[in-house]
Amino acid sequence: MIDCCETDAKMDRYDLAVIGAGSAGFSAAITAAEQRAQVVLIGHGTIGGTCVNVGCVPSKTMIRAAEALHSSRAASRFPGVSGEAHLSSWRDLIAAKDDLVTTLRQKKYIDLLPDYNGIAYLEGEALLDDRGVLVNGGVVDAGRVIIATGSSPSLPDIPGVANIPYLTSTTALDLTELPRSMIVIGGGYIGCELAQMFARVGTEVTLVTRSRVLPEAEPEISDALTGYLREDGITVRSGLAYRRIDRSADGIALAIEMSDGECETLISEHVLIATGRSPNTGKLGLTKAGVELTAEGGVSIDDRMRSSKSGVYAAGDVTGRDQFVYMAAYGAKLAALNALNGDRLVYDNTAMPWVVFTDPQVAGVGMSEAAANAAGFETKTSIVPLDQVPRALAARDTRGLIKLVADARTDRLLGAQLSAPEGADSIQTMVLALKHGMTAKALGETVFPYLTTVEGLRLAAQGFGKDVSKLSCCAG
Residue 242 marked as a ligand binder: no
DSSP letters for 412-433: BEEEEEEEETT-GGGHHHHHHH
Residue 60 marked as a ligand binder: yes
Residue 143 marked as a ligand binder: no
Residue 107 marked as a ligand binder: no
Residue 191 marked as a ligand binder: yes
Q: How far apart are CA 21 and CA 39, in angstroms?
A: 12
Residue 423 marked as a ligand binder: no
- Please give the DSSP secondary-structure letter assigned to residue 190: H
- The β-bridge partners of 383 are 403
Residue 190 marked as a ligand binder: yes
Strand order of the β-sheet with 251-258 is 240-248, 251-258, 263-268
Residue 276 marked as a ligand binder: yes
- The β-bridge partners of 355 are 363
Q: Which residues contact residue 76 at a Cβ distance below 8 angstroms, ignoring those fewer than 6 apart?
A: 82, 83
Instruction: Judge contact between 413 and 440, C-beta under 8 A.
Output: yes
Cis peptide leading into 360, omega within 30 of 0? yes
Residue 193 marked as a ligand binder: yes
- The β-bridge partners of 241 are 257
Residue 138 marked as a ligand binder: no
The residue length of the chain stands at 476
Residue 150 marked as a ligand binder: yes
- Please give the DSSP secondary-structure letter assigned to residue 201: H
Q: What angle do CA 280, 284, 287 make, to 5 degrees?
A: 100
Question: What is the CA 287 to chain-centroid distance, rounded?
Answer: 28
Helices (DSSP H) in 171-215: which residue ranges? 189-201
Helices (DSSP H) in 348-475: which residue ranges? 369-374, 390-394, 427-435, 440-444, 455-462
Instruction: Please give the helix or strand (H or E) that residue 230 lies within, else none.
Output: helix 219-231
Residue 228 marked as a ligand binder: no
User: 3-state class of 283 per DSSP?
Assistant: coil
CA torsion angle 217 223 224 230 (round to 10): 120
Q: How far apart are CA 310 and CA 44, in angstroms?
A: 24
**Residue 16: CA count within 13 A, CB half-sphere:** 34
Helices (DSSP H) in 241-309: which residue ranges? 286-289
User: 3-state class of 95 per DSSP?
Assistant: helix
Residue 450 marked as a ligand binder: no
First CA to last CA across the chain, in angstroms?
A: 59
Residue 192 marked as a ligand binder: yes
Instruction: Judge contact between 277 and 189, C-beta under 8 A.
Output: no
Q: How far apart are CA 67 and CA 56, in angstroms?
A: 16
Residues belonging to the binding site are: 60, 149-151, 186-193, 276, 317
Residues belonging to the binding site for NAD(+) are: 186-193, 276
Residues belonging to the binding site for FAD are: 60, 149-151, 317
